Amino acid sequence: MARVVVDVMLKPEILDPQGQAIAGACSRLGFDGIAQVRQGKRFEIEVEGEVDEARLADVRRLAETLLANTVIEDFEVRVES
Amino acid sequence: MARVVVDVMLKPEILDPQGQAIAGACSRLGFDGIAQVRQGKRFEIEVEGEVDEARLADVRRLAETLLANTVIEDFEVRVES
């Protein structure tokens, strides 16, 4: 059993009001020196068997079709040891 | 400017219906061999200046009070280069 992690974040040019709200709350709560916060999603996928190139390509296709909206989001797939 | 990443995931013993729905959709869409999916949050925090131990402790406190609900969620803080 191996774990593949998919990180999905809004593209840099897309406004992130959630992140902005968090950044605003930071300064109100006294956490200084925080320039920007962006919020995204993290998926931990437990894959049966070995993770080879074909398997990773499958997960990438999965991320593209199901986990991320590629019009506004970027994603990154990596194997976690 | 440095980037600190905070990953927030539900604790292993907490049920994750979102993740279960995604795992169900995977098999319906023909992505086989996926044992489990868990969904969490990822925060990218741009911090002004250098990230030293004190700064990281600040971010950890921030994650604890604002980003994660530590009753049901675990979090991890790391510096991204």
pLDDT digit string, tens, across residues B20-29? 999 999 999 9
Chain A residues inside the 8 Å CB shell of B78: none
Best B41, B42, B52, B74 member to test A by mutation, with max A CBs in 10 Å, is B42
**A45, A5 in Cβ contact below 8 A?**
yes
Q: Which two tokens stand for residue A45?
A: 């996928």
Would you say the ipTM is above 0.95?
no
Burial class (CB in 10 A: 0-12, 13-18, 19+), A62: buried
Q: Determine, for residues B26 and A62 on separate chains, whether the beta-carbon distance falls below 8 Å.
A: yes
Q: What is the pLDDT of residue B81?
A: 73
Q: Determine, for residues A42 and B42 on separate chains, whether the beta-carbon distance falls below 8 Å.
A: yes
Q: Domain B2-80 is in which class?
A: alpha beta
How far is it, in rounded angstroms, from Cα B2 to Cα A7? 19
- Residue percentage of chain A with pLDDT more than 70: 100
Domain-by-domain residue ranges, chain B?
A: 2-80
> Closest Cα partner for A77 from A39, A55, A50, A69?
A55
Minimum Cα–Cα distance from A61: chain B residue:
B31
> Closest Cα partner for A9 from A74, A65, A79, A80?
A74
